[in-house]
Structure 1
């Protein structure tokens, strides 16, 4: 879908998890300059389908799958039934919290329900006036950030008589996640993944130290293929995956590559740096795959922006994006991680302080992927960021797939 500068569209996705922290859907966050939320979908059926496919397809443990998209609807779209002509399985319609549940709205929601659409209430706080509307809803999203434990319990109790699935949104910590699981919520959304689940006195494991040494060496501009091979072959899984990726269909090499040093010479140091970091980061089996996925998207998007703006060493932007969440993957504080992973000062300052040219791009990328549109600079090139985000989704999907092929 082409965007012109006078009607700039910014769009990102936010994962929705089940109790096992497996992604079961994405909420689509978007801003259009003309404030017409449905402008995104008011084109042809093909455009809506292509758009949704780009944002909801993932490689999950090597299996390609699509998950539904949660889409916010304004009152106008609901009443006028201006919906994208896509499979009802692929979307969940969200009714915003400030929409008044009058007869006109109730008729519109009843019709959508009878047509087979799934309907969710967003940012919901129970009041008896919603009872009739809740009869046609499948999912209710409760903003648990704003409520204390007692208030959350009251909401759960009030909603129990309605046959709805409860989704806890704006979960910021693992403790809050566990509390909501206990209370009977089935779906979860929030930034808890990007925060480490800090365990006091936890030491970094031997395998993680080796991973950090490798990441350090990958950052060394004087690294030789021989030195990198020596580090990579210490990890059989890393070696296996690297050779498998090099020999995958994507590279279409004339002959099989059988040594890491040969792979480094053929692909070039930059490519091997990227793949080795990617494999090393996604090898943490204790963590949800979405964490690796989101860090790859972030790293790639930082790099894409840097390349498009012709900034020097885009590889450093990639690394800063990846490193900005490594602490959550290792369950240690960010400062501890930065002390133990010897990165260049430009990357460290970008990750910890948001400083320098790399920090500026990283900040914009994080705000973009969170859908914090108001925090983006006024003169941001929205078209560039939109394209970079979408191509990063695609690249990450292909990369994660290649690791399993």
Structure 2
């Protein structure tokens, strides 16, 4: 039956909008190291799962066939829920062991036959995560030799027993992942107990993770952005860039990436500026402002991932609304980029936006949610949360947003994630 359900999942995904949920899994430094893939049948971020087998079949078919593994996962592995039935089905062998971690549902009943199957799949290279662990009992101890990662449900267990459970898992040489983390105190305590991986709504609030040291480079980036906004000449731009050697290094990497160099080596600053163009240079400088001082690779930084995909999403949504209005698309991109800049600089939003001297519509969109840009920002934030009601409310406030249907928004989210992944891979290969 699972094979027919997988075919059904593929058929359905061709005839309807395609959705796959993903929740980041972070390491103790706050870097994204994996995603849990979740069944979703709409932009509404709720799991309406009536059949575990079919839900996983949909996730696998959509990730591998319709959307594509690179767009969904980038270079990170994906955790996929597995029922007992699916573990014995050929669907397992459609997934590459290096890209997928098999997550054993808490409802599975373990017996010798199942444990032997797990051992067989581990010999084939698969890794297993045991989901929703809340107690240290004989069942857990019997299964530990067959899994690689133990996911502890923080909300579902007695917190006083957490140290004992963590010690027992570590003694068996297994990795610990804590899920449903909702505060910085829970995060810090789990780190002290030896947890390597973290998952939960706490990490969806990047400002909580953004204890950042002041950096002189940030003032340079802000000054460069101000120069770029004034439509500078080549000489003026060269002079400003030469004051910032680190930015010049980044620009040379950008200019020599496949997107701009077209196979030829760019060796001068002037050539690099001409190849990238002021618009791309502005976008790059904006993202550098987020990256500066965080010491995380671009593809693993959850804040960069959020702002990069949000800005691209808003830019493309603006083009859906008015495909010939490039200034509106540019303003939408800028609104997305600067909607989180106060987090990076640890300043009040109004204070930093005044320093940047942004156009009034962008400023009012970020601070007050006003105008078409404010409505677009609200839709972007709602789409990130999967809040369908908020999307409908934003469209009612701005009737001109009717073209942004849930199906169109889901498509734009996939495109934005794919675009960000492609550009961060180029950035990191340039650093190599």
Does the alignment reach a TM-score above 0.5?
Answer: yes
Q: What secondary structure, in the 3-state scheme, does the structure 1 residue paired with 2:307 have?
A: helix
Alignment partner for residue 324 of structure 1, among 339, 363, 386? Answer: 339
Counterpart Cα distance in 1 of 2:373 and 2:196: 38
| Bigger proportion of residues as helix | 2
Counterpart Cα distance in 1 of 2:11 and 2:311: 24
Cα 1:24–1:319 change in 2 (3 A) is same
Counterpart Cα distance in 1 of 2:255 and 2:37: 34
Q: What secondary structure, in the 3-state scheme, does the structure 2 residue paired with 1:71 have?
A: strand
- In structure 1, the partner of 2:128 is 119
Counterpart Cα distance in 2 of 1:15 and 1:51: 18
- In structure 2, the partner of 1:347 is 362
| TM-score under structure 1 length normalisation | 0.76
Counterpart Cα distance in 1 of 2:39 and 2:383: 10
Per-residue deviation, 1:123: 3.7
The answer to whether the Cα contact below 8 Å between 1:279 and 1:403 also exists between their aligned partners in 2 is no
Cα 1:306–1:365 change in 2 (3 A) is same
Structural mapping, 1:219-230, within 5 Å: 219-220=229-230, 222-230=231-239
The answer to whether the Cα contact below 8 Å between 1:197 and 1:331 also exists between their aligned partners in 2 is no
- In structure 2, the partner of 1:388 is 415
Gaps of 5+ in 1: 58-65
Counterpart Cα distance in 1 of 2:105 and 2:39: 14
Gaps of 5+ in 2: 1-9, 43-47, 393-404
The answer to whether the Cα contact below 8 Å between 2:266 and 2:272 also exists between their aligned partners in 1 is no
Structural mapping, 1:229-268, within 5 Å: 229-252=238-261, 256=266, 258-260=268-270, 263-265=272-274, 267-268=276-277
- In structure 2, the partner of 1:94 is 103
Deviations 1:189-238 (A, max 9, x none): 34447125576xx9954332222232344445x55545444433321121
Deviations 1:168-196 (A, max 9, x none): 22445554332211011121234447125
- In structure 2, the partner of 1:38 is 56
Q: What secondary structure, in the 3-state scheme, does the structure 2 residue paired with 1:166 have?
A: strand
Counterpart Cα distance in 1 of 2:275 and 2:127: 50
Cα 1:279–1:207 change in 2 (3 A) is closer
Q: What secondary structure, in the 3-state scheme, does the structure 2 residue paired with 1:251 have?
A: helix
| TM-score under structure 2 length normalisation | 0.72
Cα 1:172–1:257 change in 2 (3 A) is farther
Q: What secondary structure, in the 3-state scheme, does the structure 2 residue paired with 1:346 have?
A: helix
Higher relative CO (Cα under 8 Å, sequence separation at least 6) belongs to 1
**Count of residues in correspondence between the two structures:** 388
Deviations 1:111-159 (A, max 9, x none): 2343213222334322647434455332222244677864644653675
Structural mapping, 1:98-247, within 5 Å: 99=107, 101-102=108-109, 107-108=113-114, 110-116=116-122, 117-126=126-135, 128=137, 130-131=139-140, 132-144=142-154, 150=160, 152-153=162-163, 155-156=165-166, 164-190=174-200, 191-192=202-203, 194-196=206-208, 204-220=214-230, 222-247=231-256
Cα 1:9–1:249 change in 2 (3 A) is closer
Instruction: Compute the RMSD of aligned alpha carbons.
Output: 4.0
- In structure 2, the partner of 1:63 is none
Counterpart Cα distance in 1 of 2:157 and 2:297: 26
1:24 matches 2:30 = no
The answer to whether the Cα contact below 8 Å between 1:45 and 1:85 also exists between their aligned partners in 2 is no
Q: What secondary structure, in the 3-state scheme, does the structure 1 residue paired with 2:92 have?
A: coil
Q: What secondary structure, in the 3-state scheme, does the structure 2 residue paired with 1:24 have?
A: strand
Structural mapping, 1:64-79, within 5 Å: 66-73=75-82, 77-78=86-87
Counterpart Cα distance in 2 of 1:129 and 1:31: 34
The answer to whether the Cα contact below 8 Å between 1:196 and 1:332 also exists between their aligned partners in 2 is no
**Higher mean C-alpha deviation, range 20-29 or range 158-167:** 158-167
Cα 1:13–1:328 change in 2 (3 A) is farther
- In structure 2, the partner of 1:56 is 73
The answer to whether the Cα contact below 8 Å between 2:134 and 2:156 also exists between their aligned partners in 1 is no
Per-residue deviation, 1:328: 3.8
